[in-house]
Amino acid sequence: MHATSEVSSDSVEIGVHDRVFVLTGAGISAESGLKTFRDSNGLWAGHRVETVATPEGWDANPELVWRFYSQRRRETEASLPNPAHRALAELEEKIDGRLFLCTQNVDDLHERSGSRNMVHMHGELFKSRCEADCGASIIEDRNSYNSLTEIPRCVCGARLRPHIVWFGEVPLEMPRIQQEIDRCSILLVVGTSGVVHPAASFVQWASMRATPARAYYIGPEAPLNAKAFTRILMGNSGEKLPGLFNVL
């Protein structure tokens, strides 16, 4: 089935006073050809997660970690946003100032589609930061590093590491995310399985308020927290999102 610009029979109505919180996960990026974080065999692009996505993995073999994220950078640069990314950017433009996007993804496909009011709670692939947290600014970085001699140094002398939230580290922008959940009237979750916390708890936070938000899930498989949603819309986000919103 091809996406159309017509309003879907499963349409989500957005009124003039509604505020929309959107959470996206690996599923939306997978539709652009990017590898999901964890395959069925427990590996990420052929690597054990512990070796490339933990502080311990970085301490043990920073060269391997940089090679891994350098390859992710090359793959992301070769990929393109899909209709789901574009539909969310178009919705943001239509309801100017009333949509907030939080993504678990580290790629830049949302930005390339035009999304602006957003945060990457798990970091950004095309940024690097000081491993020593010396206070130096996070830098834009689209380079690929494949050996220890290439790994750049901070002004303080420490190595720069990928600006990625690894297992055991605290997600970014949590106070702002909580604030946006507290004031949204619609929560839209796209392509995330409801496994990784704290993101898996967002729908419960929004539904436990005195005035619960309407919560919708879009994805090819029902999430583990499916019972918390107002409605589950099964299917690929690139097919479901275009035409889904009825902006009043």
pLDDT in tens, 20-59: 999 999 999 999 999 876 655 555 667 888 999 999 999 9
Taking CB atoms within 8 Å and a gap of at least 24, the contacts of 223-229 are: 223/189, 223/192, 223/193, 223/194, 223/195, 224/193, 224/194, 224/195, 224/200, 225/194, 225/200, 226/194, 228/203, 228/204, 229/189, 229/203
Identify the active-site residue in 120, 122, 163, 197: 122
Task: Calculate the average pLDDT of the chain.
Answer: 92
47 is catalytic: no
Numbered ranges of CATH 3.40.50.1220 in the chain = 1-34+81-122+171-248
Scanning 128-185, the segments in alpha helix (DSSP H) are 174-183
Q: What is the model's pLDDT at position 85?
A: 98
What does the block give as tokens for 60? 């043990």
In Å, the largest CA–CA distance within the chain is 58
| DSSP state for residue 213 in the 8-state scheme | P
CATH number of 38-78+125-164: 3.30.1600.10
Q: What is the model's pLDDT at position 38?
A: 61
Q: What is the model's pLDDT at position 37?
A: 66
- Per-residue pLDDT tens for 92-123? 999 999 999 999 999 999 999 999 999 999 99
Tell me if 129 sits within 8 A of 94, measured CB to CB: no
CA distance 145 to 157: 17
CA distance 207 to 209: 6
Minimal CA–CA distance to 194: which of 43, 23, 57, 52? 23
Answer whether CATH 3.40.50.980 is correct for domain 1-34+81-122+171-248: no
Numbered ranges of CATH 3.30.1600.10 in the chain = 38-78+125-164
Q: What is the model's pLDDT at position 41?
A: 53
The terminus-to-terminus CA distance of the chain in angstroms comes to: 26
- Residue ranges in the chain whose pLDDT is less than 50: 1-8
Q: What is the model's pLDDT at position 148?
A: 84
Tell me if 165 sits within 8 A of 171, measured CB to CB: yes
Single-letter amino acid, residue 227: K
Q: What is the model's pLDDT at position 35?
A: 81
